Amino acid sequence: MKTNIVSTATGKANVSALFFVKKSVQFSNVLSENAEKQVESVLNGMEDGPFEDLELLEIDGQSTLFVNAAKERGISSLDHLRMAAYRLAKRASKRQIPMVSMMLADAAPEQFKSILHGLHYADYKFDAYKSKQKDAFQVTFEIVAGEHTAEFKKIAEEAAIENKAIVLAKNLINTSSSDLTPAEFVENANTIAKYTPGLSIKVRNMKQLEKEGFMGLVTVGKGSSHEPYMITLSYDGSKGSKNVAKNAKKNARTSADHLVFVGKGLTFDTGGLCLKPPKSMPEMISDMSGAATVLAAIQAIATLELPIKVSAVCCLAENAIGNKSVLPGDIFTAKNGKTVMVDNTDAEGRLVLSDGLAEAGIIGATHIVDLATLTGAMVRALGYAVAGFFSNDDDLALKVINCGEACCEKFWSMPLEEEYADALKDHFADLKNTGSDAGAIAAALFLQEFVPEDTAWAHWDIAGTAFVNKTWKYTEYGATGFGVQSLIELARRMSGVAHEDAANEDTDGEYVAVEA
């Protein structure tokens, strides 16, 4: 997929595309009188027949695709645009249309960005293991931006950086576990740090983890022939750079915050001696989605040169069965001094995250966001469309929701219900790693025990949203890339580059927000 952003149409396009909502054309007020009558007739036909979404018709002598921008149920107006652009790009590629022109001069910046992301999503495929690989037909999208040409070009650059990060996360998650061991993940992270200006990396191996007391990772990873690692990636944009002033908006400031992402990175999870059922095994290639997401996000944040200090901690292990595997009933001392009895070896994600949260405190986090494919309970509660999250800070919780809305990623705030905390007490140790009720809440309460004091914290349980085994929005199968954009947006807003209420602002464009 290629984009060409121009102020006026070049006349070279093979097909024009018109977005519509019910009987209203969006973003285009330059149709001729004759074309307006033809379009009115078509849109009447969309409601009553015989025309359908993505119908290709002649309008004023120009082949035109009509794209329904309110087709799906239950998604936001911005996500409608993403879906519409995604479907448009898929259809254009399938029909092998060389160039499609879109009149977007009346689109608001966030609407334009949503359309761009939809086009990018349509371009993704993962065929690394296919014996025969076939390149998709490349479509050029001519975007007629009018007086917004310069602004839209900048937005397109940002969207391309974000999309590159999403593709990185998806590729890592979709890679089979035998090809992406903890050591292989480290190698990928080292390469990214090497070629991303401003990004540094620290890697701890098994011996270093044990020496420094990061025993959650050691306990989980010691049963595998592939040793565990902890990666800490650091980017400090708080001191500014030569490009920050150029890239930031007028309201940008130098943030005093230190935002730390912590990602669960189980490159494969057998469940340990508390073995998972066979049906659950194949999708365990995605149990490192949290680590992949935070790695991708910090790469994009550094590339965008956002004026904020950000770190990412990847907690990497393979939960396998071996002669050194942790036994149910074993007790270890966590980095913060608390003792933990391993009640269930398949509740291992919270054990490795305890080390990541401790590391976040050591490096001086003011705000922590951890991401993990943590509980089946969250999948049962919210399914694959919504990520549940927990937070000890109302301001951070509101930021998460607003960032999700801006990025078309749904979050639902869950309660840190202290009534369930006593179930985590153990007879011999301070804690055990499972509770008796409310599995997702119990997991979050366990993690809270390791959050540094006086630190704002949010825990994202992405067990349902990170990986899908059926078509969902712009993912046919596999990794969704969920969370990458919201983390980038969180850093952007905390740095002051974006308005806090951007997701809730009225737009100047003509788009009609319709919940289908």
Contact (CB, 8 A) for 121 and 474? yes
Query: What are the 10-residue block averages of pLDDT along the chain, 516 residues in total?
Result: 94 95 85 88 85 91 94 96 98 96 95 98 95 90 96 98 98 98 98 98 98 98 98 91 46 73 98 94 96 98 98 98 97 98 98 98 98 97 97 98 98 97 97 94 98 98 97 96 98 82 39 32
* DSSP 8-state symbol, 275: P
Contact (CB, 8 A) for 117 and 480? no
Residue 475 bridge partners (DSSP): 472
Which tokens belong to 46?
Answer: 């969309």
What pLDDT sits at residue 169?
A: 98
What pLDDT sits at residue 500?
A: 42
Residue type, 232: T
CA distance 191 to 183: 13
Buried/exposed code over 90-118 (b: 16+ C-beta within 10 A; e: otherwise): bbbbeeebebbbbbbbbbbbbbbbbbbbb
CA distance 268 to 289: 11
Residue 213 bridge partners (DSSP): none
Respond yes or no on whether the N-terminal peptide bond of residue 452 is cis (omega within 30° of 0): no
Which listed residue (71, 95, 164, 276) is catalytic?
A: 276
Closest to 174 (Cα-Cα) out of 431, 469, 515: 469
CA distance 296 to 189: 9
Which tokens belong to 8?
Answer: 């006026």
Which listed residue (264, 309, 350, 410) is catalytic?
A: 350
Contact (CB, 8 A) for 265 and 316? yes
What pLDDT sits at residue 245?
A: 42
Contact (CB, 8 A) for 347 and 373? no
CA distance 358 to 290: 17
Length of the chain: 516
Handedness of CA 516, 486, 404, 244 (dihedral sign): negative
Q: Does 246 qualify as catalytic in the annotation?
A: no
Residue ranges of E strands in 74-188: 99-103, 140-144
What pLDDT sits at residue 497?
A: 84
Helix (H), strand (E) at residue 380: helix 376-382
pTM score of the predicted model = 0.94
Residue type, 82: R
Which tokens belong to 176?
Answer: 């089979």
- Parallel, antiparallel, or unpaired for β 258-269 and 367-372? parallel
CA distance 259 to 309: 6
Contact (CB, 8 A) for 373 and 462? yes
CA distance 145 to 9: 9
- Taking residue 421's Cβ as centre, other Cβ atoms within 10 Å add up to 17
Cα 305 versus chain centre, distance: 19
CA distance 26 to 107: 8
Handedness of CA 410, 117, 250, 369 (dihedral sign): positive
Contact (CB, 8 A) for 389 and 413? yes
CA distance 92 to 65: 9
Residue type, 434: T
